[in-house]
Structure 1
Amino acid sequence: MNSGFVAVTRRDLRLARRRPVEALLPVVFFLVACSLFPLGVGPESEVLRQIAPGIVWVCALLSAMLSLGSLYGSDYADGSLEQMLVSGQPMVVLVLAKALAHWLMTGVPLILVAPLLGLLFDMRADSIATLTLGLLLGTPLLSLIGGVGAALTLGLRNGAVLILLLVLPLCIPVLIFGAGAVTAVDSGISSAGHFYLLGALLLLTLAGAPVATAAALRISI
C-alpha cells in the first residue's frame, strides 16, 4: 500500500512539473483575484482588514476548483484510472495519494502566498498567522471534498459546472470557520474554537471522503 501511495503521488507531481502553466494557474488566479479587491474597494485600511478573511478564503476555494476537472479526468481519458482499479492496490489509498498530490500542487502554494496577501490588505501580524494556519487546516478539506465531486462527475458532459454545484455547498463550513478565526483574533477573542472545528471537519472528511471517492470512481468506470 505504501508503494502504491508513493508511486501515485510522485506520478501526479511529475506530471504537474511537465505542465507548469496548468499547475500554476490556480496560484495566479488566487493572486490576481485577491489583488483586484483593494483596487475596487479603495485604500481604507479598516475596510480592507474587515473584508480580507472572507475574500482570501473565497478566492482560495475558487482557485482549488480550477484544477478539479483534471484531477481524475486525464487519467480517465488515457486509461490510467482503469489500470489503478485493477492494480490490486486499495483504491482508497490511491485516492488519498491523488488528494495529497492535488493539495501539494494547489493548497501549499496558496498557504505560502497568503502572508503576502495579508500585507496587501494591511492585516496585523497575528491575523496573518491565523489566516495562514486556517488555510493549512482548510485547504486539505478542499482537496478531499473536491475529489468526491470530481469522481461523481467523471465522464459527464458539463462536469465542471456540476463539480461547482456539488462541492461549493459542502465547503461553506470551511469558509465560515476559516474566516471566523481571523475575525475572532481581530476582535480580541480566542480563535481556538474555530481551529478545533476545522480540525474535526478535517478528520471527518479524511475518514469519509476517500471511501466515497473510491466508490464513485468504481461506479463511473
Structure 2
Amino acid sequence: MFQTFLRVIGRDLMLARRQGGGGLLVIAFFVMVIMLFPLGIGPEPEILSRISSGTIWVAALLSVLLSLDRLFQADLEDGSLDQLALLPVPLSIVVLGKVVAHWLTTGLPLILATPVLAVLMQMPEDGFLTLIGAMALGTPTLSLIGAIGAALTVGVRRGGVLLTLIVTPLYIPVLIFGVGAVEASVLDFSAMPHLLFLTAILLGAIVMAPIAAGWALRLALD
C-alpha cells in the first residue's frame, strides 16, 4: 500500500515536470495578486503592513484554487483514473498520493515565495516565522479540502466555477486562523492557539478528505 502511495506521488510529479508551466503559473499568479495591492492602495508602509498577512493568505488561497480543476480531470480524460481505481488499494490512498504531489508542486513553492512577498508587503519581521509555519500547516489543508471539490466536479462541464463555490466556504477557517496567527505574533501575543487550530484542521482533513474524495470519484466513475 505504501509503495502504491509513493508511486502515485512519483507519477504525478513526473507528469507535472513533463507538462511544465503549471507550478510556475501558480507562483506567477500568487506574485501578481500580491503586487497589485501596493499599486491599488498606494505604497504607504503602515497600510501595507496592516493588510500584509491577509493579502498573502488570500492570494495563496486563490492560487491553490487555480490549480485544483485539473487534479483529477486530466486523469479522467485520458483514462488513467479508471486504471488507478482498479489498483488493489483503497482509492483514498491514491487520492492522498495525488494530493501530496499537488502540494509539492503548488503549496511548497508558495511557501518558498512567501518571505520575499512578505518583505514587499512591509510585514513586520516578528510575523515572518509564524507566517511560514502557518502556511506550512494551512496549504496542505487547502489541497486536501480542494481534492473533495475536485472529485465532486470531475467530468462536470464548467466544473471550475462549481468547484470554487464548493471549496471556498470550506477554506474560511484556514484563512481565519492563518491570518490570526500572524496578527497575534505581530502584536506580541501567542500565536500557538491559532497554530493548534490549524494543526487540528490539517489532521482532520488528512483523515476525512481522501475518503470523501475517493467516494466522490467512485460515484463519478460509476
What TM-score comes out, normalization by structure 1 length? Answer: 0.98
Matched, 1:130 2:141: no
Do the aligned partners of 1:12 and 1:101 also contact (CA within 8 Å) in 2?
yes
Segments ≥4 residues shifted beyond 4 Å: none
Do the aligned partners of 1:71 and 1:147 also contact (CA within 8 Å) in 2?
yes
Letter in 2 for 1:152: L
Do the aligned partners of 1:95 and 1:213 also contact (CA within 8 Å) in 2?
yes
Q: 1:129 and 1:38 mapped to 2: Cα distance?
A: 23
Q: 1:21 and 1:200 mapped to 2: Cα distance?
A: 33
For 1:72, the equivalent position in structure 2 comes to 72
Do the aligned partners of 1:34 and 1:55 also contact (CA within 8 Å) in 2?
yes
For 1:48, the equivalent position in structure 2 comes to 48
What TM-score comes out, normalization by structure 2 length? Answer: 0.98
1:17 CA drift (Å): 0.7
RMSD: 0.8
Letter in 2 for 1:77: E
Q: 1:6 and 1:186 mapped to 2: Cα distance?
A: 39
Segments of structure 1 that go 5 or more residues without pairing to the other structure are none
Do the aligned partners of 1:17 and 1:23 also contact (CA within 8 Å) in 2?
no
For 1:37, the equivalent position in structure 2 comes to 37
Q: Percent identity?
A: 49
**For 2:76, what is the secondary structure of its paired residue?**
helix
Letter in 2 for 1:12: D
1:86 CA drift (Å): 1.0
Do the aligned partners of 2:75 and 2:81 also contact (CA within 8 Å) in 1?
yes
Letter in 1 for 2:179: A
For 2:106, the equivalent position in structure 1 comes to 106
How do 1:51-62 and structure 2 match up within 5 A? Answer: 51-62=51-62
1:22 CA drift (Å): 2.2
For 1:211, the equivalent position in structure 2 comes to 211
Aligned residue pairs, count: 221
Letter in 1 for 2:133: L
For 1:152, the equivalent position in structure 2 comes to 152
How do 1:165-180 and structure 2 match up within 5 A? Answer: 165-180=165-180
1:220 CA drift (Å): 0.3
Letter in 1 for 2:186: D
Moved more, 66-75 or 84-93: 84-93
